[in-house]
Structure 1
Amino acid sequence: MLGEKLSFLWRDIFWWWAKIFLGPPLRFFFHIQSEGKRRFPPRGQPAFLLANHTNTVDPFMIADSINRPVRYVVTDEYFRYKISRTLLGWVKGIPKTKNIPDSVTMRILLRAVKRGEIIGVFPEGKRNWDGQTLPLGDTIPRLIKKLKIPAICVRQRGSYLAWPRWSNWPRRGRIIFDFSYLFENPDEVPEDEGEIKRRIEEKLFYSELEDPEVIKHIFTSPTVAEHLELRLWLCPHCLRFFTLKSEKRNLFCTACGARWSFVGNGTFQLNKAGEPLAVGARNFKRYIDWTRWNDAQTMPMLADRKKQGKDTLVSLPAMMWSVPTETGRDRDFELKGDGIATLTPDFRMVFVRSKDGKVLFDTPLTEMKGPGITWNHKFEFFGEDMAYRFTFFGQSAYFWHFLTQELDKSKSKGDLR
C-alpha cells in the first residue's frame, strides 16, 4: 500500500517536472493555443478526457494544457522498449493491445477510476493517416454509460499537419485545442449508448485538410514530402502500384516520371506529367482528394489484375518476425528472415524467405486478427497462437492493413469473393 502511494507520488512529481520543462518548448514549437472550457473536476474525482488522435506527441501537448495528471490508455507497442516502458511506467500509462478486446486494460482502467483519476483516451484507437477523425468504437460509450463520470472532449486543429502520420519529423505549425464538456454531471449521461456515441462524434469529428483556417498556413520545412509513399501507393498518371518515391519537398513516380511539389499544407503542384498517361489518368491538387481516389481505386484495380489472370497481384520486399503467444501482450518478436511478401489473387499473404526460397507464411487476409500499424512501417496481427510482424521499409505497410479493412467490409456485406 505504501509502495503504491509512493509510486503515485513520484508520478505526480514527474508529471509536474515534465509540464514545467517540456511544456514551454512544445508550446513554442507548435504555437499551441487552448480554447473552450478547461475546468476539470477537483482532484480525487474521476473523469474521461477524450480527443481525436492525429499527432505523435499530442498526449503530452494536451496534458500540458490542464492542471491535473492524465493517465492515458497507450498501445502496448510502446511498452516493449526499455526507455518508453520506463517513462510510461512513471506516468502510469495503461497498456492496450490494438484492435482486440483487452480485459487487463479494462481492469486497470476501472481501478484508476476508483482512485479518482483522469483517464485519457483516444476513441479512434489509433492515429489517423489523413487528418480526418476515424469511426469510433462502442467501448467508450459503453464505459461512460456504466461509470457515469464526467467526460471532457478536446478537438485538435492543426495537429495533423504539424506531424502527419506518414512523416518521421514534426513541422512548426499552429495547433488549437478546443476543450468542451461532453457530460459535466452524472445526471446528464443518457442511457442510450448510441446517443452517447453520437455526441462524442459530434464533439470530435474533424477533417483538418478541409479547414480553411488551418491549411492557409505554409510550411517551410525542406522535407515536407518525405515518406508520403507510406500513404499513397497508386500513381494517378500511370495507375501503377508502389512506384511513388519522395525526396525533400517532392513526390515522383519512378515508372512514368510524373513529379509533384508538396506544399506541406495538404496541396500539390504538378511539375511534370507522366509519360505516357494511362487511360483514366488523374491529377490532384489536394492530398485528401488523392488519398480518397487511392483508396477507392485499390480494390477495383486489384480485381482487374485478378481478371487478367495474374498469379501475383502485388509483391514487396519485407522482413518477417513472429512469436508464439498465449496473450495479446506477449510479443517479444523473433526475426525469421527477409524476403518477399506477395498478395495472391485469392487475397492471401504469402511470404517467401530470400535465402532459401522457403514459404514461411501463407494465410488469408480475412483470418488476420487485430491487424494494426506500429511505427508506420510495421504491419502486426495475430494468427492461431502466434503474433506476426512484417516490416516494410520504403513502401506502405498501411496498404496491407487497408486491405484487411476492405475485406472485412465486404465480408460484413456478404459480397466477399
Structure 2
Amino acid sequence: MGQESASLKKTNHSGNAKEQPEYGCVPSRFWYSFFGSVIAGGVLKRVFGMRLKTDKKIRDLPGPLVIVGNHPSFIDPAVMGIALKGRPINFVAGEFLFRKKIFGHIITKGGCIPKAQFRNDLRTVRAMMRVLGRGGVLGIFPEGTRFTDGHSIGFENGLASIIKKTGAGVVIFRSHGAYMTWPRWSESSWRRGRITAEFTEVLPAEKVQEMSVDEIHDFMRKALVYNEYEYFSDHPQVFKSRAPASGVQNIANICPRCRKLNTTHVEDGKGDKSLPKEHRRKKNLIVCSACGNRVIMNSRGFFEPAGPEDKSFPDLHEWAEWEKTIYEEEVAKDGFCLTEKVELFKLCNGHDHAKVGEGVLTVKDGVITYEGTECPPESGIVYKKGKPDPKYSGRDISKAAKPVTKTYQASGMKGMLMDYGKFMELFDPREGAYRYVPENRQRLFEIQSVIMAMKDRKCDHR
C-alpha cells in the first residue's frame, strides 16, 4: 500500500468517528522535526548540558533499523533523538505517558508507540512491525523501566524475535550522565551536569539473517550491561542540585550500620560545622533515625561516611545490592510474611486514578494478596497530582465499597510498575492494573525486593 498514512480513523468512547494518529505512524514533521528536534531539543540540550554530536554513518544506515539503548532516565528518548538528528525515530514508551491528554496527543503525533510495562502487548508488537515494515527506525529501551540504582537491568528476548522476523539492523546506543542528571528516585527533579552519548556497536541486517533469536538477544544483552557509577568513577563529573539526596531514602532504606529497615531519612548538611565545607549543603545527608548513622551524598553523586564511626557504601548500586541480600535472607526464613496497610486505586477516565478501597496487602509464600474493600471507579474519589480532586474529596466510598480479595502470583511477574515513595501497580489479566499506595510509602522498594526474591526462589526450586 506504499507509505503509511500518518493518521487513521478510529472510534472514540462516545462512538463518534474521530481522526486520531495511528500508533507507529510516520512521525509528524511539525511535532517531531520542528517542535521536538528544533525547539524542545534545543532547550533540553541547554538545560541538561547535553554534549551530543550526530553520527552521520549511523544516520545514513539503511532501514529497517532498531536503535537499542539503556534506560537510565526520563530524558533518554530526547538524548537518542538529538544524537540521530535528521532521522526520525518511532519510540516505544510507557503506556502511562499516553494517559496525559495533551502530552499523550503530542507524542502519538510524533510517532511514539505505547507499551504496557511488564506484560505482553499485542498492540505494541503490531505497531513496531508496522514501523519496521516500512523501513523506518525504531527506538527502544528494552529494559522496560528506568534504572533504579544506576545499573542496567535484564530483559527478555521478545525484541530479538521481532528483529529476526523483520530482518532489521541493530545499533547499540549508550549515554553517560542521564541517570546522574535525573535519577529515578529523585524528589528534587533534575540536577545540572553533563550528558554525553555514542553509538557503540552495529549489527548489520546481513548478520542478523545468519543469527538465531537467542544469539541476537545475547548480543544486545551483553552490549547493554552498564553501571553509571563505574563510568563516573573513571570520568568524575559534578552534578549540581539544591537537594541532591532527596528521595534516595526510598531506595537506600536499610541502615548500613544497624541494619534496621526503613529508618533512613534525608537532612540538611548546610550549617553543620562538623562536616567539611564542601559538604555543608541542603538535603545531602542520609540519616538513620534508629542509630544516628550519617551518610553524605557528595557533589558527584557518590556516598561518603559523615564521620569516623559512620558506615556507608560508595554508591547506590552497592547499597541496593546489599539490601537485596538482606531481603533474600528474610524471605528464606520459615513463616516469613510481609503485611502493609494500603489504599486501592483504579484508572477511572483514561487519565486519572480514583481511590476505590482500603485494605491490607500481604506477601507470603510467593503470593501477593489484597484483602479489603473496592467500589466501582465512578463511585470513587478522583485524585489529581497525588491529591483528592476537591469535587470528590467529601465523597464517602464506604457505602459503595464491597469486601474483595485479589491475588497475584510472584512467579508470573516480569516486573512491577513502581514510583518509589508514591505507589506500585499490579496487573491482573481479568481486571487490569490496580494501583496500591502503602501507608508507609518508604516500604515500596522493600515490597518489590521481597516479591522478586520470592519469584527467584520459586524459579530456583523448579
The alignment's TM-score, normalised by the length of structure 1, stands at: 0.83
Deviation of 1:394 after TM superposition, in Å, equals: 4.3
Query: Residue in 2 aligned with 1:123?
Result: 142
Matches of 2:368 and 2:173 in 1, distance apart? 40
Q: Specify which of 313, 316, 331 is matched with residue 284 of structure 1.
A: 313
Deviation of 1:249 after TM superposition, in Å, equals: 1.1
Query: Residue in 1 aligned with 2:250?
Result: 230
Query: Residue in 1 aligned with 2:131?
Result: 112
Is 2:272 aligned against 1:253? Answer: no
Is 2:77 aligned against 1:59? Answer: yes
List aligned pairs for 1:147-162, cutoff 5 A: 147-162=166-181
Q: Specify which of 301, 304, 311 is matched with residue 269 of structure 1.
A: 304
Q: Specify which of 49, 64, 72 is matched with residue 31 of structure 1.
A: 49
**3-state SS of the aligned residue for 2:416?**
strand
Matches of 2:104 and 2:233 in 1, distance apart? 38
- 2:304–2:312 CA contact under 8 A, matched in 1: no
- Aligned letter for 2:407? T
Task: Describe the superposition over 1:240-267 as per-residue Cα deviations: whole angstroms up to 9, x where unpaired.
Answer: 2211112411211222222222115342
- 1:323–1:332 CA contact under 8 A, matched in 2: yes
Query: Residue in 2 aligned with 1:372?
Result: 416
- 1:43–1:116 CA contact under 8 A, matched in 2: no
Q: Specify which of 7, 17, 42 is matched with residue 4 of structure 1.
A: 7
**3-state SS of the aligned residue for 1:39?**
helix
List aligned pairs for 1:286-365, cutoff 5 A: 286-304=315-333, 313-315=338-340, 317-322=341-346, 333-338=353-358, 341-343=361-363, 348-350=368-370, 352=372, 360-361=404-405, 363=407, 365=409
Assess, with a 3 A threshold, how the Cα gap between structure 1 residues 30 and 368 changes in structure 2: closer, same or farther.
same
Assess, with a 3 A threshold, how the Cα gap between structure 1 residues 55 and 345 changes in structure 2: closer, same or farther.
same
Matches of 2:261 and 2:367 in 1, distance apart? 16
Query: Residue in 1 aligned with 2:382?
Result: none
Query: Residue in 2 aligned with 1:408?
Result: 455
Assess, with a 3 A threshold, how the Cα gap between structure 1 residues 371 and 333 changes in structure 2: closer, same or farther.
farther
- Aligned letter for 1:258? N
Assess, with a 3 A threshold, how the Cα gap between structure 1 residues 107 and 395 changes in structure 2: closer, same or farther.
same
**3-state SS of the aligned residue for 2:44?**
helix
Matches of 1:297 and 1:29 in 2, distance apart? 39
When the two structures are aligned, how many residues end up with a matched partner?
400
**3-state SS of the aligned residue for 2:180?**
helix
- 1:321–1:337 CA contact under 8 A, matched in 2: yes
Deviation of 1:194 after TM superposition, in Å, equals: 2.3
Query: Residue in 2 aligned with 1:327?
Result: none
Indicate the larger mover: 135-144 or 379-388: 379-388
- 2:361–2:368 CA contact under 8 A, matched in 1: no
Assess, with a 3 A threshold, how the Cα gap between structure 1 residues 34 and 179 changes in structure 2: closer, same or farther.
farther
**3-state SS of the aligned residue for 2:442?**
coil
- 1:371–1:380 CA contact under 8 A, matched in 2: no
Deviation of 1:283 after TM superposition, in Å, equals: 3.6
Assess, with a 3 A threshold, how the Cα gap between structure 1 residues 155 and 242 changes in structure 2: closer, same or farther.
same
- 1:30–1:174 CA contact under 8 A, matched in 2: yes
Matches of 2:313 and 2:27 in 1, distance apart? 52
Matches of 2:164 and 2:31 in 1, distance apart? 32
Task: Describe the superposition over 1:163-207 as per-residue Cα deviations: whole angstroms up to 9, x where unpaired.
Answer: 111113111122121113422343454322222122213332211
Provide the identity percentage. 22
Matches of 1:334 and 1:108 in 2, distance apart? 30
- Aligned letter for 2:70? N
Deviation of 1:381 after TM superposition, in Å, equals: 1.7
- Aligned letter for 2:423? K
Deviation of 1:21 after TM superposition, in Å, equals: 1.3
Query: Residue in 2 aligned with 1:90?
Result: 109
- 2:164–2:208 CA contact under 8 A, matched in 1: no
List aligned pairs for 1:188-207, cutoff 5 A: 189-207=209-227
Assess, with a 3 A threshold, how the Cα gap between structure 1 residues 181 and 35 changes in structure 2: closer, same or farther.
farther
Query: Residue in 2 aligned with 1:390?
Result: 436
Query: Residue in 2 aligned with 1:48?
Result: 66
**3-state SS of the aligned residue for 1:73?**
strand
Matches of 1:351 and 1:240 in 2, distance apart? 28
Matches of 1:45 and 1:346 in 2, distance apart? 44
Is 2:122 aligned against 1:103? Answer: yes
Task: Describe the superposition over 1:40-93 as per-residue Cα deviations: whole angstroms up to 9, x where unpaired.
Answer: 465983211110000111101210121111111111111222122112222121
Deviation of 1:227 after TM superposition, in Å, equals: 0.6
The alignment's TM-score, normalised by the length of structure 2, stands at: 0.76
Deviation of 1:293 after TM superposition, in Å, equals: 0.7
Structure 1: gaps of 5 or more residues: 325-329
Matches of 1:367 and 1:286 in 2, distance apart? 30
- 1:371–1:381 CA contact under 8 A, matched in 2: no
**3-state SS of the aligned residue for 1:22?**
helix
- Aligned letter for 1:231? I
Query: Residue in 1 aligned with 2:276?
Result: none
Indicate the larger mover: 16-25 or 38-47: 38-47
Query: Residue in 2 aligned with 1:142?
Result: 161
Structure 2: gaps of 5 or more residues: 9-18, 268-282, 375-396
Assess, with a 3 A threshold, how the Cα gap between structure 1 residues 301 and 221 changes in structure 2: closer, same or farther.
same
- Aligned letter for 2:33? W
Assess, with a 3 A threshold, how the Cα gap between structure 1 residues 3 and 27 changes in structure 2: closer, same or farther.
closer
Matches of 1:241 and 1:301 in 2, distance apart? 12
Assess, with a 3 A threshold, how the Cα gap between structure 1 residues 264 and 378 changes in structure 2: closer, same or farther.
farther
**3-state SS of the aligned residue for 1:142?**
helix
Indicate the larger mover: 375-384 or 164-173: 375-384
Is 2:97 aligned against 1:78? Answer: yes
Assess, with a 3 A threshold, how the Cα gap between structure 1 residues 398 and 83 changes in structure 2: closer, same or farther.
farther
**3-state SS of the aligned residue for 1:234?**
coil
